[in-house]
């Protein structure tokens, strides 16, 4: 266990190295470039076996597909436009059941061009069949890397570890980074039963006719839903070994147990939200926070339970579904619909897009609005 004060990107890169992937395939893009650079440094020092400097993010994901199909643990890194360019291969990775782990420094999508953080790059891929983790800080992001590999390889589903561009990728914080030996005890070697092996030839990535295609999609969906429990187990196992856990692995409830009104969000804004909730609690207000860590598969039941009996809920997100209800709020709405009897009022707040600053004061203002118990849709 190394204790150091480093940039989030470097902390995550070190955690990746310590998971001992065979192959990294990277293309630089702000704000995740430092992760790709640090992995290149490890390769240069012989601490990473293979590093492919691809000519595009689409090729990075494609190289990971090839390496994973050949039976190797793989990693790639991306953000924003690079992520969008990968789109076609992102679906392939999930459809082919390849447990690739991708580090995402979340970034806004063009146009207009913008290098700063929001979640739209990853949220827009929510239907692709990947497991999606959203992390609050550097420590969680690096801890989520071995968990992502563990869950991905146990379920044969790819997983992405999302961290807010700049707010986490470039923030310098003290962290504890588990070493290779410790991670080996947590994460067994990747040894898939099916791989590209001349001694046991298989065909991978075949096409499916109308008679078979839908069954593949249904299987993927059902296995993704079943992965929610594996995520909880991975979080619990990590806590047992390393002493750190993130809620139940899917959601984190912060002072929300006896709260009347609750702020729901993901990622680094939840640090600000905790401050805002603390300040309200100091005044005797029954405010709380529920942080969603696992966005796909979406923890509907856990969230419904956490929001049961609340008077009012407000969802803040750095993502959108233009022309429709914002995506995270839409999922929260579906959770609330599971509740019997009185349901909390639900408000949607969209903000922080393209790096627009959202402060503790902003969260406090949103909480004041949530407390009113109305149904609002606002851009912050």
Return the number of the residue (208 or 334) whose C-beta is nearest other proteins: 208
Q: To the nearest whole angstrom, how small is the minimum distance from the Cβ of residue 202 to other proteins?
A: 6
Q: In which residue are the tokens 């999930």 written?
A: 94
Return the number of the residue (59 or 272) whose C-beta is nearest other proteins: 59
Is residue 198 close enough to count as binding other proteins by CB under 8 A?
Answer: yes
Q: Are the C-beta atoms of 80 and 108 separated by less than 8 Å? A: yes
Other CB atoms within 10 A of residue 45 CB? 9
For the segment 44-73, give every residue that binds other proteins (CB under 8 A).
49-50, 52-56, 58-60, 62-72
> Which part of the chain contacts other proteins (CB under 8 A), choosing from 198-206, 218-226, 271-279, 360-368?
198-206
> Which part of the chain contacts other proteins (CB under 8 A), choosing from 85-93, 155-163, 258-266, 340-348?
85-93
Is residue 19 close enough to count as binding other proteins by CB under 8 A?
Answer: no
Is residue 189 close enough to count as binding other proteins by CB under 8 A?
Answer: no
**Cis bond leading into 29, ω under 30°?**
no
Return the number of the residue (92 or 259) whose C-beta is nearest other proteins: 92
Residues that contact other proteins, how many (by CB under 8 A): 43
Among 40, 109, 115, 204, binds other proteins (CB under 8 A): 204
> Which part of the chain contacts other proteins (CB under 8 A), choosing from 123-131, 153-161, 208-216, 369-377?
208-216
Buried b (16+ CB within 10 A) or exposed e, 115-138: bbbbbbbbbbbbebbbbbbbbbbb
Return the number of the residue (2 or 208) whose C-beta is nearest other proteins: 208
Q: To the nearest whole angstrom, how small is the minimum distance from the Cβ of residue 60 to other proteins?
A: 8
CB-count burial class (<10 Å; 0-12, 13-18, 19+) for 290:
buried
| Strands ordered across the beta sheet of 377-379 | 251-254, 287-292, 261-265, 312-317, 345-350, 377-379
Residue 44: helix, strand or coil by DSSP?
helix
Question: Any residues with CB less than 8 A from the CB of 363 and at least 6 apart, and which?
Answer: 263, 269, 272, 273, 275, 276, 316
Question: Any residues with CB less than 8 A from the CB of 132 and at least 6 apart, and which?
Answer: 122, 125, 126, 159, 160, 162, 294, 295, 296
Is residue 106 close enough to count as binding other proteins by CB under 8 A?
Answer: no
Q: To the nearest whole angstrom, how small is the minimum distance from the Cβ of residue 196 to other proteins?
A: 4
**Where does this chain bind other proteins (CB under 8 A)?**
22-23, 25, 49-50, 52-56, 58-60, 62-72, 74, 88-89, 92, 96, 196-198, 200-209, 212
């Amino acid at each position: 266990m190394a204790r150091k004060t480093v940039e989030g990107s470097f902390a995550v890169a070190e955690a990746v190295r310590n998971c001992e992937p065979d192959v990294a395939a990277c293309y630089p893009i702000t704000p995740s470039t430092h992760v790709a650079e640090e992995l290149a440094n490890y390769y240069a020092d012989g601490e990473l076996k293979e590093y492919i400097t691809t000519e595009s993010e689409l090729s990075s994901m494609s190289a990971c597909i090839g390496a994973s199909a050949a039976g190797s643990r793989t990693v790639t890194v991306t953000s924003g436009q690079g992520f969008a360019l990968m789109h076609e291969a992102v679906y392939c990775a999930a459809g082919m059941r390849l447990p690739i782990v991708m580090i995402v420094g979340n970034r806004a999508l063009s146009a207009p061009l913008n290098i700063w953080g929001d979640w739209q790059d990853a949220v827009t891929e929510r239907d692709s069949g990947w497991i999606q983790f959203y992390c609050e800080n550097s420590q969680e992001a690096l801890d989520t890397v071995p968990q992502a590999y563990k869950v991905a390889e146990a379920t044969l589903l790819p997983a992405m570890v999302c961290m807010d561009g700049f707010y986490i990728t470039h923030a310098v914080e003290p962290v504890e980074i588990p070493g290779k030996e410790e991670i080996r005890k947590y994460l067994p070697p990747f040894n898939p039963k099916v791989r590209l092996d001349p001694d046991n030839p298989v065909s991978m990535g075949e096409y499916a006719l109308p008679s078979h295609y839908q069954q593949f999609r249904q299987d993927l969906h059902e296995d993704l839903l079943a992965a929610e429990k594996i995520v909880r187990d991975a979080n619990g196992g990590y806590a047992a070994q390393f002493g750190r856990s993130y809620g139940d692995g899917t959601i984190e409830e912060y002072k929300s147990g006896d709260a009347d009104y609750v702020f729901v969000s993901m990622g680094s804004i939840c640090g600000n939200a905790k401050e805002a909730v603390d300040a309200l609690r100091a005044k005797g207000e029954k405010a709380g926070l529920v942080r969603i860590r696992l966005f796909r598969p979406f923890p509907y039941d856990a969230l419904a339970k956490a929001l049961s009996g609340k008077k009012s809920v407000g969802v803040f997100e750095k993502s959108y579904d233009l022309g429709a209800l914002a995506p995270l709020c839409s999922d929260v709405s579906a959770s609330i619909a599971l509740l019997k009897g009185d349901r909390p009022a639900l408000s949607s707040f969209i903000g922080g897009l393209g790096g627009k600053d959202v402060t503790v004061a902003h969260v406090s203002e949103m909480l004041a609005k949530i407390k009113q118990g109305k149904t609002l849709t606002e851009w912050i």
